[in-house]
A and B are shown apart, each in its own frame.
Chain A
Amino acid sequence: MSARFTLVAGGAASGKSEFAERLILESGPLPRQYIATMEIFDQECRARVARHRAMRATKGFSTLECPVNLPGAPVPSGGAVLLECMTNLTANELFSPNGAGSPQAAEDSILAGVDRIMAGCARLVIVTGEVFSGGNRYAGNTDLYLRLLARVNRALAARADEVCEVVCGLPAWYKRENEVFA
């Protein structure tokens, strides 16, 4: 079995989380698993987590915190899985003391984790960030991170049945089930 997989990309505050949740809710009465990837550093993180938890509270999700090492995440089989957000997981694997370290090791870990989840669940939605349209004049090793995240995004898009970019809460589809693109 391989899950039906939708990749949901979008900019900051584009409504991508809510849209991704809707896809999971529309997938029927499967057990719902939320994989949270953010490392909690400060009050801003806590506020963001609280907001997202409240959004999910009434929707039957169980939450699994997984800031690094996705292949080690104990994801139950057969359910609907929402993983959010690939921007965090990638940054953690690259920069966190507990992370994989090198870009190649980070990419390998993330994709192995996704493949494992895809093989075990019935429905998979992954949220990722669109952070690539404002130039690349950033300080330090931000460009290393951008290149890695872009590679991960392209690898996920290649695996996905559907790919969309959410703009003000609405999806623009780059790949759709049962449609053939060149």
Chain B
Amino acid sequence: MIFVTGPLYSGKRAWAQKILGCSEQELPARAVWDVQELAADAADLPALADKLARYEVVIATEVGAGVVPADPAERAAREAAGRLACLLAARADRVVRVFCGLPLPLKGELPQ
């Protein structure tokens, strides 16, 4: 599994399509994205990470670099999103951060 992270709208999905050599229509069968939004409601984050790790590519948007949200639910959601990303990175063969459409390998090498 390749875990792809990066800021909002940085081109993560486009890069995943390029690496998988697939169309936008074929992407949902092989990749899952916006997984940061699944974290808040998950009773068991490691179990969620295990389930997501069955995809070839898992994509999460970084959401933890702003000011701590005043709202407790938003605070908890942001915390869970970060923890889930760490669990996914631990399960991944490769971790890539996509920034302005450009990939930076954080774990393993970039796929050819």
Residues of A near B102 (CB, < 8 A) are: 157, 163, 174-175, 181
Asked if A130 and B7 sit within 8 Å, CB to CB, the answer is: yes
Which of A16-24, A76-84, A134-142 is the contact stretch? A134-142
* 0/1 string, B69-112, CB within 8 A of A gives 1: 10000100010000000000000000000011111100000111
Given A133-B63, A133-B66, A134-B65: A147 in contact with B9 (beta carbons within 8 A): yes
Q: Are B78 and A150 in contact (CB under 8 A)?
A: no
Partner of B74, one of A9, A137, A172: A137
When C-beta atoms are compared, the residue in chain B nearest to A138 turns out to be: B66
Residue in B64, B67, B101 whose Cβ sees the most chain A Cβ within 10 Å: B101
Interchain CA distance A81-B8 in the complex, whole Å:
29
Contact indicator B100/A146 (Cβ below 8 Å): no
Given contacts A150-B10, A151-B9, A154-B11, contact A135 B99 (CB under 8 A): no
Interface check B56, CB cutoff 8 A: no
Residues of A within 8 A of B100 (CB): 7, 9, 153-154, 156-157, 163, 174
Contact code string B3-34 (vs A, CB < 8 Å = 1, else 0): 00001111100000001000000000000000
Q: How large is the interface on B (under 10, 10 to 19, 20 to 34, 35 or more residues)?
A: 20 to 34
CA distance A147 to B9 in the complex (A): 7
Asked whether any CB of chain B lies closer than 8 Å to the CB of A158, the reply is yes
Determine how close the nearest CB of chain A comes to the CB of B109; give it in whole angstroms.
9
Cα A130 to Cα B10 in complex, Å, equals 10
Q: Kindly state whether residue A107 has any CB partner on chain B within 8 Å.
A: no
In angstroms, Cα B88 to Cα A25, docked, is 43
Which single member of A133, A156, A165, A181 contacts B62 (CB below 8 Å)?
A133
Nearest Cβ in chain A — how far from B66, in angstroms?
2
Partner among A136, A157, A172 whose Cβ is within 8 Å of the Cβ of B8: A136
A4 to B10 Cα, complex, angstroms: 23
Q: Are A134 and B67 in contact (CB under 8 A)?
A: yes
A-binding residues in B (CB < 8 A): 7-11, 19, 62-67, 69, 74, 78, 99-104, 110-112
